[in-house]
Structure 1
Amino acid sequence: MSTINAIVTDAPKGGVKYTKIDMPEPEKYEAKLKPVYIGICGTDRGEVAGALSFTYNPEGENFLVLGHEALLQVLDVSDNNYIKRGDFVVPLVRRPGKCVNCRIGRQDNCSIGDPDKHEAGITGLHGFMRDVIYDDIQNLVKVNDPDLGKIAVLTEPLKNVMKAFEVFDVVSKRSIFQNDDSTFIGKKMVVIGSGSEAFLYSFVGKDRGFDVTMVNRHDETENKMKMMDDFGVGFSNYLKDMPDKIDLLVDTSGDPSTIFKFVKKVNNNGVVILFGTNGKAPGYPVNGEDIDYIVERNITIAGSVDAAKIHYVQALDSLSNWYHRHPQTIKDIITYEAKPEETNIFFQKPKGEIKTVIKWP
């Protein structure tokens, strides 16, 4: 048993503190790691606020170590040809249960809500906001590009985007979605929101050839507008200018009333990807005309959550590609670097936040 520093909550009650905890040291392990950077997202803040009823502490524990968006460094490792001491790695968040999808490495598509499936820092498994982590090598993805540095902490949120586009690729095959030149060039993609996930969705959409517009119900900061411009992404304050004729709609807000405003602008055979979650968003009265619109136009609505190891690999490849093409814009996604003791950031976002990360000492 060793005493280490950690940021903890009591799931699902909430609260947060940076404190010392006792953690067992395994006699045998494949990799011993330390955190370098850990990102903070809406899930972390929801846990701390006690707003996520599905979260829970590890069995027999009265606390849960937070943190699932992590960049770790290898302190020690068993003999293998994949990673070595000093390497930087990104850990998988969701760990498999026993269902058929979990058994083939697709725990992101867990088919039974398996109680043996856990998510680090969220459901029944301690996260990465702690001094030392022990893990199996199969749960780690190596950062091959040495130039990425702390940008690699964006791998976890970006892997969600890669999974969502996999879902799009599957459901869009119900009809011919591409242009007659076989590309998506000129197809209209709208992303609801302007946070870090919205930027990542937009950048991947541009890589795919879409004409991408991010939307929100207010004007955006000069810094965000510059980042969008660098990637060729448009922006619309939809209270002033509502986009229409949408081919692919992606929501990162989780707000039903906003989503359905845009669903009724989606073209025939269009696809809607729901990614954002907001259990406390007010309800929206869906009526018969809303259903008629969706059915008569063959619109596909699909939810997407988490991702598989292959999506982490794809995310790192895209981050490397973007960083070498648009280094400053990718750096600008991380807008605030906090210390572990700054637990107020879980309650109040720093001004102008896109992505806040904690730099571990």
Structure 2
Amino acid sequence: MRAVVFDRPHHFRVMDVDDPRPRPEQVRLRTVATGICGTDRHLLAGGFMARFPLIPGHEIVAEVESLGECVAGLSIGDLVAVDNTVLCGHCAPCRRDQPLYCDHFFSLGVNGPGGFADLLVARAEKCFPLDGLEPMTAVLTEPLACAIHGADVLALRPGSDVLLFGAGPTGLLLAQLLVHGGAARVTVAAPSPHKLDVARHLGADETVRMDRSDPQASLRRLRALAPSGFDAVIEATGAPAVLAMCPEMTRTGGTVLVYGMAGADDTVPFSPYEIFSRELTIKGSFAQTHRFDRALLFLRTGRIRTDGIITDRFPLERFGDALSAVAGSTSVKAVVMG
């Protein structure tokens, strides 16, 4: 089969590799669509959980091609969204009901073979039938599941005034969750006018264009919207410089949510006295597990909309073009088609 292989930092090939074989509790899947994520760029650089060689791709929609001998509840030909997380269930974090921090955490496309390939294998219980949901909508199940985890961590109070930095795919999904989850107002700030247009289309109450050449002017516009600060400020870009601005934009007693993934060696200068004296809360949102059922329900009901998010589609052999597209200002989400 063909697969994208990250064989060392900053280098990949599209090449022929052996077809995977399912174990008794697994299914073999033929990939239909796999989303490009910012995490893929971190992995290609050798960051996060990268183990080379790696077949990346963790936002997966696929068709069941064959069944392991112990599999029930799925049929050949079923279209499924694949939960990429595999947890041991018996380590100390799992026993403490913290499965996201499983000592043996295994993630398809992150530290195990993923969806940028013709075929992959997955545990049967991690395959969620689409039941008529369009694949190009279902391909956003995994990023929406991550956004749901972020909303769970934030635990927003009804009537809150929320600022979200970043209008990438998960930022746009998270903004919608906040709109439906009790926020009185959601403001999205980002440098791309096109992405801000999408944010407005999907329900953001206010948008502010961040001018990279004059960030202070952009912050003044945000302060004019909320002179006393926002109840919750969410950093969804992964840029340390943006996170550094978040405490000053947060109301006394408010919360900063670190949602975007920065580099492992990045640091941000905070004033401990400001956190102490204004009783600010800083939370992190890492990934997702056990969120696929809720994500699929949101997508099936249309409560979370996806129109305008997927802007680019590429065949597997043009994986490099897909990576380049998501670095642009007009591309929101790129998908590699099987």
TM-score using structure 2 length: 0.85
Higher mean displacement: 191-200 or 25-34: 25-34
Counterpart contact for 1:96–1:105, Cα < 8 Å = no
Matched residue SS, 1:22: coil
1:101 matched to which residue of 2?
93
CA contact (8 A) 2:2 2:16 kept: yes
Q: Which of 313, 326, 334 pairs up with 2:293?
A: 313
Deviation at 1:283, TM superposition (A): 4.5
Give the match's secondary structure for 2:139. helix
CA contact (8 A) 1:95 1:107 kept: no
1:117: which partner in 2? 105
Counterpart of 2:64? 74
- Other-structure match for 1:84: 75
Q: 1:190 to 1:227 in 2, by over 3 A?
A: closer
Change (3 A) 1:230 1:306: closer
State the AA in 1 paired with 2:2.
Answer: N
1:263 aligns with 2:247: yes
1:92: how far off?
2.0
| Contact preservation (8 Å) 2:25, 2:124 | no
**Residue in 1 aligned with 2:143?**
157
Tell me, in whole angstroms, the C-alpha distance in 2 between the residues paired with 1:206 and 1:27: 43
**Aligned partner letter, 1:333:** I
Alignment match, 1:43: 39
Q: CA deviation at 1:354?
A: 0.7
SS of 2:163's equivalent?
strand
Q: CA deviation at 1:204?
A: 0.5
In structure 2, what is the Cα distance between the partners aligned to 1:269 and 1:142?
A: 43
What value does the CA root-mean-square deviation take over the aligned residues? 2.6
Which residue in 1 is equivalent to 2:123?
136
Aligned partner of residue 238 in structure 2, secondary structure: coil
Aligned to 1:342, the other structure's residue is in SS state: helix
The answer to whether the Cα contact below 8 Å between 2:26 and 2:71 also exists between their aligned partners in 1 is: no
The offset of 1:341, in angstroms, is 0.6
Shift of 1:73: 1.4
The reply to whether residue 203 of structure 1 matches residue 176 of structure 2 is: yes
* Deviation of 1:76 (Å): 3.0
Matches within 5 A, 1:155-234: 155-169=141-155, 178=157, 184-185=158-159, 187-210=160-183, 211-216=185-190, 218=191, 220-221=193-194, 224-234=196-206
Q: Letter of the aligned partner of 1:107 in structure 2? A: P
CA distance in 2, matches of 1:281, 1:122: 19
Which residues in structure 2 correspond to 1:238-257 (within 5 Å)? 238=210, 239=215, 240=218, 241-243=221-223, 244=226, 245-257=229-241
How many Å separate the matches in 1 of 2:264 and 2:78?
A: 41
Partner Cα distance (2:208, 2:267) in 1: 24
Report the counterpart of residue 113 of structure 2 in structure 1.
Answer: 126
Equivalent-residue separation in structure 1 for 2:30 and 2:322 (angstroms): 22
Tell me how far apart the structure 1 counterparts of residues 203 and 297 of structure 2 sit (CA, whole Å): 17
Counterpart of 1:272 in structure 2 is 256
- Contact conserved, 1:38 with 1:358, CA < 8 A, in 2? yes
Deviation at 1:332?
Answer: 1.5
User: Which sections of structure 1, spanning at least 5 residues, go unmatched?
Assistant: 58-62, 173-177, 179-183
Contact 1:32-1:135 within 8 A present in 2 as well = yes
Determine whether 1:341 maps to 2:294: no
Q: Which residue of 2 aligns with 1:32?
A: 28
Tell me how many residue pairs correspond in the alignment: 321
In structure 2, relative to structure 1, the CA distance for the partners of 1:339 and 1:219 (3 Å cut) is closer
The sequence identity of aligned pairs, in percent, is: 21
Q: CA offset at residue 230 of structure 1?
A: 4.2
- Alpha-carbon contact 2:243-2:268 (below 8 Å) kept: no
Measure, in 1, the Cα distance between the counterparts of 2:231 and 2:258: 14
Give the CA deviation at 1:282: 6.3
Note the C-alpha offset of 1:47.
Answer: 2.3
- 1:29–1:134 Cα contact (<8 Å) kept: no
Counterparts of 1:335 and 1:84, CA distance in 2: 31
- Give the CA deviation at 1:304: 1.2
CA pair 103-76 structure 1, distance change in 2 beyond 3 A: farther
What is the distance in 2 between the residues matched to 1:214 and 1:317?
25
Displacement of 1:345 after TM fit? Answer: 2.4
Which amino acid in structure 1 is aligned with residue 106 of structure 2? H
CA distance, structure 2, for counterparts of residue 93 and residue 147 of structure 1: 19
Contact 2:312 2:335 in 1 (8 A): yes
Match of 1:355 among 330, 333, 338: 333
| Residue of structure 1 in register with 2:16 after alignment | 20
Q: How far is the alpha carbon of 1:46 from its aligned partner?
A: 2.4
